[in-house]
Amino acid sequence: MAEQVWFNGKVVPLKSAKVSVLDRGFLYGDGIFESMRAYGGRVFRLDEHLTRFVASAEALRLPLQYGKKQIKGAIGELLEANDLSDAYIRLALSRGVGGQRLSLEGEFRPTVVMTARPFTGYPREFYRQGMMAVTAGFHTSPDSPALRHKSANYLANILAKNEAEEKGAGEAIFVNANGEVAEGAVSNVFIVEEGAVVTPPLSVGILPGVTRGVVLDLCREQGSACREEAFGLARLFQAEEVFLTNSLMEIMPLASIDDVKIGERVPGEITHRLMGLYREATSAGR
């Protein structure tokens, strides 16, 4: 069966979805995207994903001609058209064609594309034994406006992830120009210190991850100690446990960072408990 995509409001075969060479997403990375995971035909935390997407579109003055309701309907159509129930769903919006060079003035014909593909996860042993990570070879800026959005401009993330892969690791962790641990190339970072879960605040210049929000909610619901607080590399390396989150990988324990072993046991007790609670939430569709 030929893959179907949602392209500017219609489900069409992938082959017939074509974008102009003048599209600003192509020319400048002028757009945003959203990565979501469907379990049993339903996207986990869909409202949070669409709220972030619509808020970023507004903040970046990207014209979005579809509302949340239409996008939700399109997800159902797309899963059905591709005969999928567990899937990786990617929604992208570009400013499209229009305007003069970098100017935001003028008329634009935005491009919206959504794909649904079979979900191929991370190796299972990563969840049992932990993934390796490295620190990125360059700093991020805490006040970069792009980092707060899932912008279509992922060059720094691509370079950092590639650097990690060249060193045999699965993820690169960014430290910002103030020496604060920020986030991974495709994930948010958490540490466990004296039994408390700590994650960097949004002010260090990170994406407000949907999974990050779920983990903070799970900790609060359980009455477990958790807080948003900036920390540097020394605390990262000395943490009892370190884990990463994103909508596709869920909660990923780290075994080492820059070849420094993390904690006594991987996954650590708190990470392990959160992994179980997260899985329960996804299977209950909460």
Ligand X SMILES: Cc1ncc(COP(=O)(O)O)c(C=O)c1O
DSSP state of 203: G
212 is a contact residue toward ligand X (CB under 6 A)? yes
Q: Residue 267, preceding bond cis, omega within 30 degrees?
A: yes
**Is 43 within 8 Å of 91 (Cβ atoms)?**
no
Question: Of residues 180, 183, 240, 250, which one binds ligand X by CB under 6 A?
Answer: 183
Part in contact with ligand X (CB under 6 A); list of ranges 106-114, 165-173, 203-211, 262-270: 203-211
211 is a contact residue toward ligand X (CB under 6 A)? yes
Beta bridge partner(s), residue 111: 94
251 is a contact residue toward ligand X (CB under 6 A)? no
The C-alpha atoms of residue 217 and residue 16 are separated, in whole angstroms, by 42
The C-alpha atoms of residue 114 and residue 119 are separated, in whole angstroms, by 15
Question: Of residues 46, 71, 92, 210, which one binds ligand X by CB under 6 A?
Answer: 210
Nearer to ligand X, 94 or 246 (CB): 246
CB of 68 to ligand X, least distance (A): 16
245 is a contact residue toward ligand X (CB under 6 A)? yes
b/e code 253-271 from CB counts within 10 Å (16+ = b): bbbbbeeeebbeebbbebb
Is residue 245 exposed (0-12), middle (13-18) or buried (19+ Cβ within 10 Å)?
buried
CB of 48 to ligand X, least distance (A): 8
Part in contact with ligand X (CB under 6 A); list of ranges 82-90, 137-145, 223-231, 243-251: 243-251
148 is a contact residue toward ligand X (CB under 6 A)? no
149 is a contact residue toward ligand X (CB under 6 A)? no
Reduced to 3 states, what is the DSSP secondary structure of residue 38? strand
Question: Of residues 209, 263, 267, 268, which one binds ligand X by CB under 6 A?
Answer: 209
Applying CB under 6 A, which residues contact ligand X?
35, 157, 183, 186-188, 207, 209-212, 245-247
